[in-house]
Amino acid sequence: MTRVLVVDDAQTVRLYHRELLEQDGFDVDEAVNGLEALERLADTPYDLLLVDVNMPRMDGYTCVRRVRTDGPDIGVPVIMVTTEGAAGDREQALSAGANLHMAKPVQPEVLLSRVRLMSGVLS
């Protein structure tokens, strides 16, 4: 089973992503902020992280950077999703260590195809 961790403070968005990914056969876990994501990562290996930027307690950039620095799996693929990207969103996401940056609203098919590719289900 391919496991994806959806990190977003908005429950609506988490549910949406969960539905989308579960329909496609992914195992989905959720975290409501960067801290919780790190906590989950410490327990469970994931094949891909889908991370929002704006979150309380720990934002997406910090979270991804922490993953890239401290692991436990420093190489886990990360897609960062931002709402209505501001200037430099993509650069900031990539430099934090995201493999890909996407702007909301993300087309479901585009998101799915990227998740499939990057989580390795196509391999």
The binding site for another protein (CB under 8 A) comprises 9-13, 15-16, 19, 24-25, 33, 35-36, 38-39, 41-42, 54-57, 65-72, 74-78, 83-88, 91, 94-101, 103-105, 107, 109-110, 112-114, 116-123
Distance CA 28, CA 7 (A): 10
Which segments within 41-117 are labelled E, that is strand? Answer: 48-52, 78-83, 100-104
CB of 73 to another protein, least distance (A): 8
CB 102 within 8 A of CB 78: no
Tell me the two tokens of residue 14: 């988490």
Contacts of 54 by beta carbon, 8 Å cutoff, 6+ apart:
9, 60, 82, 83
CB of 30 to another protein, least distance (A): 11
- What are the backbone angles phi and psi of residue 47, rounded to the nearest 5°? -90, -20
Nearer to another protein, 29 or 33 (CB): 33
CB of 51 to another protein, least distance (A): 12
CB of 35 to another protein, least distance (A): 5
Radius of gyration of the CA atoms of the chain, in A: 13
Nearer to another protein, 28 or 114 (CB): 114
